[in-house]
Amino acid sequence: MSEGSKGSSLAFGQVVIGPPGSGKTTYCHGMQEFMGRIGRKVTVVNLDPANEAVPYPCAVDIAQLISLPDVMENLKLGPNGGLLYCMEYLEANFDWLQEKLAAFRGHYYLFDCPGQVELYTHHRALKNVFAQLAKWNFRLAAVHLVDSHYCTDPGKFISVLCTSLSTMLHVELPHVNILSKMDLIEQYGKLAFNLDYYTEVLDLSYLVDHLASDPFFRNYRRLNEKLVEVIEDYSLVSFVPLNVQDKESMRQVMQAVDKANGYSFGDREQRSLEALMSAAVGADFHFTSTLAVQEKYVQSQDKAVEEEVMDL
C-alpha cells in the first residue's frame, strides 16, 4: 500500500461514522460477523480512542498509538478536546496506520470511528485520514448511522437531515445514511407518516406543517421552511433502515454499501449469501423483519383510504 503506487491492489471498506449512541460499534460487530458468514475476510479497525471495550475481534486499535485517558490527564483536556487531539495525532502518524493495515492485505476493512459530530461537519483531521487512505488505494464508503427514534420527533428529524447533509458535503466520500435500531423505533412513539417518507426524505413541507401544530415551533415556521429548502435543494439525503439482528436488513445495507464503494463479489460469495439467507430461523441471527414496521404503516394508511372511500 505504498503511497501513489498505481500497481498496488485496491482495498475496499467502510468508515462507520455517526453521533454517540447511534450503534457504530454494534454495527461493526454485526457486519463483521455477517460478512464472515459469506466468506469475506474482514478486518475491523478501531479509530475511536474512547472505545475501551470493543465487543469484536479488533485487528488494529488506535489505543496502541494513543489513548484518550492519557491525553486528558497529561494535557488537561476535556473529552471533546482530547478526542480532537487524538485525531490530529493520528493524522500526524500516518506511517503507523499504514504499517498496521499492510498486515491485512486482501481483507475488507471496517473503520469504527469516534462519535464526535464536529469531526464530520467541520474539523479536518479525520477527513484528511480518509483522504490519505484513498491515496493508498482504499475505496471507502462512509456509513453514517443515525438513531431511528429521531423520526418520531419532526424537529429532531429536521436537525438530523441538516447534520447528515453537512457530513456528506464535508467528508467527501460515497455516502450511505442508515436509520439504526429500527426494531426499537416504536418504543419512542408513533410515526407521523409512512416509514418511506423518512427513508426517502419526501416532500418536507408536510413535516413543517406538522411542526406548526406545536405552539413552540409555530414561531419558527419560517426558519424551518428555509432549512428544509436547503435539504431539498441539494437532494442528497436518504436513509436505509437497519436492524442488526435481521439478516435481510443486513443484506440490504451491505449491498447498498458495496454499490457505493464499487465492491463486487464473486460467485462463491454469492452462493454463501444465498445459503445464509435461506437458512432456518434461529441460530445467531433473529430474522425479525425490519419491514414489519413499514408494512404496518402502509396497511394502516390503506385502511384509512378505504374508510374514506366507504364514507363517500
Question: Coil, strand or helix: which one is 46?
Answer: strand
Q: What is the mean pLDDT of residues 165-172?
A: 95
Residue 108 belongs to some domain of the structure: yes
Cα–Cα dist 144/75, whole Å: 31
For residue 86, is it within any domain? Answer: yes
With a pLDDT cut of 70, the percent of the chain lying above it is 86
pLDDT for the residue 5: 42
Question: What's the first-to-final CA gap in the chain, in angstroms?
Answer: 69
Give the total residue count for the chain.
312
Where does the pLDDT of residue 193 fall: very low under 50, low under 70, confident under 90, or very high at 90 and above? Answer: confident
Quote the pLDDT of residue 287: 41
Distance CA 259, CA 171 (A): 18
Identify whether 160 is part of a domain.
Answer: yes
| Inside any domain, residue 259 | yes
pLDDT above 90 (res 282) = no
Domain count, the chain: 1
How many DSSP H helices and E strands does the chain contain?
14, 7
Q: Which residues contact 186 (CB under 8 A, 6 or more apart)?
A: 293
Please identify which residue in the block is written with the cell numbers 412513539.
Answer: 189
Q: What CATH number does residue 86 fall under? A: 3.40.50.300
**In the predicted structure, residue 172 carries a pLDDT above the cut 60:** yes
Q: Which range marks the domain in which residue 117 is found? A: 11-201+237-311
Instruction: Give residue-wise pLDDT tens across range 294-303.
Output: 555 555 555 5
Dist CA 306 CA 143 (whole Å): 39
* Nearest Cα residue to 119 out of 167, 75, 162, 76: 167
- What per-residue confidence (pLDDT) applies to 293? 55
**What integer is the mean pLDDT of 183-190?**
82
Contact 110, 43 (CB under 8 A): yes
Q: Where are the beta strands (DSSP E) in 62-191?
A: 108-112, 138-147, 175-180
35 is a domain residue: yes
What is the rounded distance in angstroms from the CA atom of residue 26 to the CA atom of residue 303?
Answer: 37
Within a domain: 39: yes
- Indicate the pTM of the whole model: 0.85
The Cα 20–Cα 112 span in angstroms is 12
| pLDDT tens digits, 231-272 | 999 999 999 999 999 999 999 999 999 999 999 776 678 788
Average pLDDT over residues 10-27: 94
Q: What is the pLDDT of residues 44-100, one digit of tens each?
A: 999 999 888 888 889 999 999 999 999 999 999 999 999 999 999 999 999 999 999
pLDDT at 54: 87
Mean pLDDT lowest for which of 108-117, 129-138, 294-303? 294-303
pLDDT at 141: 97
Range name among 24-28, 120-124, 214-218, 276-280 with the lowest pLDDT average? 276-280
Would residue 210 count as lying in a domain?
no
Q: 84: which 3 cell numbers?
A: 480532537
Can you spell out the DSSP letters for 249-301? HHHHHHHHHHHHHT----HHHHHHHHHHHHSPS-SSS----THHHHHHHHHHH
What share of the chain has pLDDT > 90, as a percent? 65
Mean pLDDT over the full length of the chain? 86
Task: Please check whether residue 66 lies inside any domain of the structure.
Answer: yes
Taking the CA of residue 197 as centre, how many other CA atoms within 13 Å lie in the half-sphere pointing to its CB?
19
| Predicted local distance difference test score (pLDDT) of residue 276 | 81
Looking at per-residue pLDDT, the higher value among 175 and 186 belongs to 175
pLDDT at 174: 96
C-beta neighbour count of 141 within 10 angstroms: 22
Residue 176: left (phi > 0), alpha (psi -120 to 50), or beta? beta
pLDDT at 118: 94
- What's the pLDDT score for residue 3? 44
Contact of 152 with 213, CB cutoff 8 Å = no
What is the helix (H) or strand (E) element at residue 15, kind and residue range? strand 11-17
Q: Given a cut of 60, is residue 285 above it in pLDDT?
A: no
Confidence of residue 289 (pLDDT cuts 50, 70, 90): very low
Q: What is the mean pLDDT of residues 3-25?
A: 81
Q: Quick one: pLDDT at residue 217?
A: 81
- In this predicted model, which residue has the larger pLDDT, 122 or 192? 122
